Structure 1
Amino acid sequence: MTRQVETDSRLTTGRDALPLALSGMIGVGVLVGPAPAAAAAGPWALLGLLVALLAAVCAASATAFQASSYRSPGAVYDCVRERMGLLPARVGASAHIAARVAAMAAIARVIGEFFLPGGSAMVAGAAILLVVLAATAGLRIRGAAAWLWVALSLAVIALVVAICFAIDPVGGPPVHVDPGASPDSAVGIVGAGGVLFLAFTGFERLTAPAHGDRAPWMSIRRAGALSLVVTAVLSGVMIVALAHQLGWSRLALSPMPIRDVLTAAAAADLVPLVSVGAAVALLPVLLGALESARSTGLALVRDGELPRVLDRTGPSGSPYLLDLIAGVAAVIVSQLFTPVALMSFAACALLLHYALANAGTRLLLSDGPTWPMRGACLGMGLSVVLAMSMPVSAMLTTLGVVVVGPLLAGIVSRRWK
C-alpha cells in the first residue's frame, strides 16, 4: 500500500494536475445538465452557469486549504469536525457520501442510455460493478491515460457542437419560457445554477485527493482555476449549441439532449459513434465519484463513525468492502430513479456539504489570509442559496439523509456529542 501511494504521489505533478481534474469534471453535468438547466431558466441558463462557477471556485478554494492542513483522506470531514463539532461533521459527511452514490448512479444510467437505451438500467449496474472491481484492483487514471480520456471527451463535445452549428435547425414550436424562469425572478437562474454546479464537482480529485497524492500548491491553484474555466466554457458552448439546434423548449424536455440533437440535425448515423465515445468518456468520472465517496468513508471509519471492518484493504491497498457497499448502493439507486432526478439530489446534497465545508474553512482561516476567508463566506452563502433552489423532492431527500445519517453514525459510534 505504501508503494502504491508513493508512486501516485510522484505522478501527481504539476503537468498531471490539469488532466486529473478535467477527467473528473467533464461528465453528466456538461453532457446532460443543459436540459434541466434549460427547464429551470430557459435562455437565462447561462447566468446560472456563472453562479455555479463562482460557487465551485469558492468550494475548490475551501477544500484546497482544508487538505493542506489535514493531510489524511476526508480532509473536509476532519476540518468541520474539529472546527464546528460532531453533528455538523456528520451532516456534511452523510450528505457527501449520499451525493456521491447518487452521482455514480446518474453517471451509470447515462452510460447505459448511450450504450443500450432499451436496457440502460442493466448496463448501469454492470458499469458500476466494473468500476468497483477496477478501483478494488487499485486502478487510478493518471498521467497520459487521463489526457487520453480528456481528449476523447473534448472530441465528443466538439463533434456535437460542430453538428449543431453546421446544420440549420428545423423550425419547431415557438420558444416558451416558464414564468418562474423569467428575468423578473432569480429562482430560475439559481435553479439552473444548482444543477449545473454538478459539472464542476470533479475538482476534489485535485484539491482534496482521496489517497493523499497531492500536487504542489501552485500547481493546484493554476490547474484548478484552469479546469474550472475550461469546464464552464465547455458547458456554456454546449448549452448554446443544443439550444440553437433544438430550441429552448425542446432542450428543456430532452432526457438525452446529445442523442436528440443529432437526430434533429439529420445526423442520426453518427448517434452510435458519439454515444459510445460519450459513454467511454464518462468512465473516469464514475471512478472519480467512487474515490471521493471512499475518501469521506475512510475518514468516518477512522473516527469510529462507521464499523472498523470497512477499513479492510485488499492486495492493492484499496478498501474493498467500503467500495463494494458504495457500489451496491449506487446500483440499487440507479434502478429506481431517472438520471435527472439523481442529478438534482446529488447537486442539492453536495451543495449542503460544501456549505459546511466553506463554513469550516472560514473558521480555519480566521487568523489567516483575508480574501480566502471572504471567499469561504461567499461560498457558504452561495451553496445555501443554490441548494434551496433545487426541486422540492431533492431537498426533502437531502433532509432525510442528513437526519438518518447522523443517527446511524451515533448508533455505531455510541457518541452523541
Structure 2
Amino acid sequence: MTPLRRELGLPGAIAIGLAAMIGAGAFTVWGPATAAAGSATGLLAALGIAAAVAYANADSSARLAALYPQSGGTYVYGTRRLGPFPGFLAGWAFLTGKSASAAAMALTVSTYLWPEYDKPIAVLAVLVLLAVNLLGIKKTAAAAVVFLAVTLAVLAAIVFTGWTVPGYRDNLTDTDPWGVLTAAGLIFFAFAGYARLATLGEEVKRPQWTIPRAIPIALLMTVAIYLLIAATALHVLGSRALSQSPTALAAVAAAVNPALTPIIALGAAVAATGVLLSLLAGMGRTALAMARDGWLPKAFSRVSQRFAVPWAAEAAASATAVAVIAAFDMVGAIGFSSFCVLVYYAITNASASTLDRKRITPYLGAAGCLVVAASLPPASALSGLAVLLLGVGVYALRSRSRTVAP
C-alpha cells in the first residue's frame, strides 16, 4: 500500500477548511432559508442552530482525526470505533452526498459564468480541477488560498457597501419553528466542508497537533463571516425580499450598486470553484480508504508515485460528479446532499462518543444531525433514504464477496 505524503501545515489546512465552507452556499442559501424560517429572527436562529450542530460535529471530527490521521474521515472512524457497517454507511453517505454537492458547485460556476451552456461548462470545471488535484496536495492548498482570497474580497465588498445604505423594513414576521429547523438544514449545506481536513488526514503534518486546531479555527471564522453576510442581506433587502431571491447576494449588490453585480457573479463562481476543488479531493481520499479495505474496487487504491495522490479514486470521484451534473439540477442537489452529509456526521458523533462516554458534545451533535436531517424537505429526505438503502444492499453484496474470496 503506497502511503500519501504529509505536506500540509496549519496555514494550508485552515485555508482548505475555509475554502471548503465559504463557497457557493454563502451566495445562494439565504433566500430559501429565509423563506423556510418565516422571519429575520427565524433565519438568525437557524444560522445559530446550524452553527451549533457544525461545532459539535467539528469537535468530534477533530478528536477522531487526531487519533486516526488517515485518509477516509468518518469511514475510518466508524469502522474503527463502531464496526464495518457504520463505517461503510458513513463512507457511502459521504460519497453520494458529496457527489451531489460537487455537481451543485460545478453548476453554480457555470450558471454565473455562462448560463446558456451550464452543463458543458460545469463538466469542464470538474475536469480542470481534477487536473489540479492530480498535481498533489500542495497544489490543491495553493489553489484553495487563491480562490479563498478572491471570495473573501468579494464578500467584504458586499458587507461594507451594504451598510452604507439605509435599512429596508418590509419584513416577514411569521416565524415557523419547524421551518427554522428546515432552514438550519439548508444553511448546514454551506457549513459542511469544515471536516474536509479529516478526509485529508494522511497528508497533514503533525496531525495530532494540526487538525484539532485547524478545524475549529476555520469553523469559527466561517460562522463570523456568515453572520455578517446574513445581517447585511437582511439590512439591505429585508426578510421578505430576501426570501424571494435565489441569488441573495446578487440581489444585495443590485440594490446597493448595480455596478457590483458582475463582481458578485465572479465571486460566486470563484467560491464555488474553491469548494469543488476540496470536494473532489475529499471524495477521492474516502474512495481510496474504502478501496483499501475492499468495499470499492481495488483499482481505486492506486496512488501516483510522482505526485503521491490517489489518482484512480480522484478520477472516479470526478466521473461520479459529472454523472450527477448530467442527471440533476442545483436546487434538488442541495437538499439531497445535506441529508446524506448529516447522516455522515451523525456517525461521526456516534464514533466520538466511544472516546469518552461522559462527554456530552457527541450526543448533542448526533441528535442535532438527525433532527435537522428529518426536517429537510420531504423529497430530499426520501431520496436520501433511498440512496442509503441502496448502500445497505451494496454492503450486503460486498460482505458476501469478501467472505467467500480466497
Q: TM above 0.5, one fold?
A: yes
On the 8 A contact 2:89/2:391 being kept in 1, the answer is yes
Cα 1:161/1:359, change in 2 over 3 Å:
same
Q: 261, 273, 298: which one pairs with 2:263?
A: 273
1:139 CA displacement: 5.2
Once the two structures are superposed, the pairs formed by residues 127-166 of structure 1 within 5 Å of their partners are 127-138=125-136, 140-141=138-139, 146-166=144-164
Map of 2:347 onto structure 1: 356
C-alpha separation in 2, matches of 1:374 and 1:51: 17
- Amino acid of the structure 2 residue aligned with 1:233: A
Correspondence for 1:24 = 20
- Report if aligned partners of 1:64, 1:208 keep a CA contact under 8 Å in 2: no
* Structure 2 portions without partners, runs of 5+: none
**Counterpart selection for 2:53 from 42, 52, 55:** 55
- 2:320 corresponds to: 329
C-alpha separation in 2, matches of 1:233 and 1:288: 21
1:303 equivalent in structure 2 = 293
Identity in percent? 28
Deviation at 1:2, TM superposition (A): 7.3
Displacement of 1:89? 2.1
For structure 1, the 5+ residue unaligned runs are: none
Instruction: Give the corresponding residue for 1:248.
Output: 239
SS at match of 1:166: coil
* Equivalent residue pairs, number: 400
The answer as to whether partners of 2:119 and 2:325 remain within 8 angstroms in 1 is yes
- Partner of 1:92 in structure 2? 90
Q: TM-score, normalised by structure 1?
A: 0.87
Aligned partners of 1:84, 1:2: CA distance in 2, in Å?
A: 26
The answer to whether the Cα contact below 8 Å between 2:291 and 2:301 also exists between their aligned partners in 1 is yes
Give the corresponding residue for 2:331. Answer: 340
Structure 1 residue 264 displacement after superposition: 3.2
The answer for the alignment partner of 2:116 in structure 1 is 118
Amino acid at match of 1:20: I
**Distance in structure 2 (CA, Å) of the matches to 1:28 and 1:382:** 24
Does 2:219 correspond to 1:228? yes
Aligned to 1:264: 255
Contact 2:108–2:268 (CA under 8 A) maintained in structure 1: no
Structure 2 counterpart of 1:133, one-letter code: A
Q: CA RMSD in A?
A: 2.6
Deviations 1:206-259 (A, max 9, x none): 344254324454543443323212211211221222222233233222222222
Which residue of 12, 34, 40 maps to 1:38?
A: 34
Partner of 1:191: 182
TM-score for the superposition, normalised by structure 2: 0.89
- Contact residue 210 and residue 291 of structure 1 kept, 8 A: no
Mean Cα deviation higher: 59-68 or 159-168: 159-168
SS of equivalent to 1:282: helix
Instruction: Provide Cα deviations, 1:60-114, integer angstroms capped at 9, x if missing partner.
Output: 1212222222232114212212332332222221111111111111111111122
- Local SS of the residue matching 2:303: coil
SS of alignment partner, residue 203 of structure 1: coil
Q: Which moved more, 1:72-81 or 1:304-313?
A: 72-81
The CA distance in 2 between the partners of 1:223 and 1:72, in whole Å, is: 16
Worse overlay, 404-413 or 392-401: 404-413
- The answer to whether 1:376 aligns with 2:362 is yes
8 Å contact kept, 2:73–2:200: no
- Residues 159 and 138 of structure 1: CA distance in aligned 2, closer, same or farther (over 3 Å): same
Is 1:407 aligned to residue 393 of structure 2?
yes
Deviates more, 1:73-82 or 1:353-362: 73-82
8 A contact 1:45–1:192 mirrored in 2: yes
